[in-house]
Amino acid sequence: MSGQKHGPVYGRVALIGLGLIASSMFWAMKRAGLAGEVTGYARSAETRATARRIGLCDRVCDSAQEAVQDADLVVLCVPVGAMGPVMEDIAPLLKPGATVSDVGSVKRHVIDAVQPHIPEGVHFVPAHPLAGTEHSGPESGFSELFDNRWSLLVPVEGTDPDATARLRALWEGMGANVDEMDADHHDLVLAVTSHTPHLIAYTMVGVADDLRRVTDSEVIKYSAAGFRDFTRIAASDPTMWRDVFLTNKDATLEILGRFTEELFALQRAIRTGDGEHLHDYFTRTRAIRRGIIEAGQDTDAPDFGRGQKK
């Protein structure tokens, strides 16, 4: 997929919020020639200045309303807690036939917050690219971010299939594999694969902070032992993750409950010296890691191959 020119899927795309995902979308669209013009808006004047300096977007606007004017596709790239108010602000400016999408990692809440503000004649196709790094901000994006990663489309009931197909073509043009999913199922899947692991990583890093018997310098020096991978996850954007847990509450709590049960079973196996239980459990979990590598969603290269990435 990389570097291949596809020709425009949309005449004008507006990116609202200019962090890691939006900036990567811009560079990926540019790489493949997927949009005639890309406008952008960020709430912070500093972010807008940075975007202008690095050439992020063809035109950086000073209001979201200005950015969405005449756009064929508007992508909300703001934290999920902010999507409703942003949508309300831009709704009067959207042209008939335009599509609104987003990149939020929770879908039911986003649909509930955004859909009431979608004007008649405007399509709404929520989406979620399952790609990211621990870095945030306009300078963190790169065109290869979505290559061979999954992007999930969650069309709402009654969505025009052509609007969904067009958005699928954009994501495929940016290098992603695309699947469609129901909103509630999406939120449960993500609670397992992303949200709960992030919460556990934050917790483990917090525990290390509490253990004053292990000095900070020891935690930092000897982190290759496994702690390092928790800290990579726990470095993610705090606003985004606060909103994720507040808006995907039910699924996250369900998976956390399951996690706690498994943890108690492992505690019991360790306490009672049940080596067989531990060995069987670790054998099963090891197979999942192998499956992830075989599916091309990670690499078994040293340092997970992440050293080569920007």
Residue 260's identity, in one-letter code, is: T
Say if residues 117 and 91 touch (Cβ distance below 8 Å): yes
The pTM score is 0.89
What local confidence, expressed as pLDDT, does residue 310 receive? 40
What local confidence, expressed as pLDDT, does residue 302 receive? 66
pLDDT in tens, 180-218: 999 999 999 999 999 999 999 999 888 887 776 777 778
Is the Cα dihedral 253, 136, 293, 279 positive or negative? negative
Cα torsion for 235, 237, 242, 243, to the nearest 10°? -150
What local confidence, expressed as pLDDT, does residue 300 receive? 81
Say if residues 143 and 31 touch (Cβ distance below 8 Å): yes
Q: Is 71 helix (H, G, I), strand (E, B) or coil?
A: coil
What local confidence, expressed as pLDDT, does residue 309 receive? 45
What local confidence, expressed as pLDDT, does residue 216 receive? 74
Residues 6+ apart with CB under 8 A from 275: none
Task: Give Dmax (Cα) for the chain.
Answer: 67
Domains and CATH numbers, the chain: 10-181 (3.40.50.720), 185-273 (1.10.3660.10)
Say if residues 200 and 207 touch (Cβ distance below 8 Å): no
What local confidence, expressed as pLDDT, does residue 270 receive? 97
What local confidence, expressed as pLDDT, does residue 274 receive? 97
Ranges of the chain with pLDDT below 50: 1-2, 308-310
Percentages of the chain per state (helix, strand, coil), in multiples of 5: 55, 10, 30
Q: Are strands 127-129 and 123-124 parallel, antiparallel or unpaired?
A: unpaired
Radius of gyration of the chain (CA): 21
Selection from 198, 168, 167, 197 nearest residue 98 by Cα: 167
CA distance 31 to 24: 10
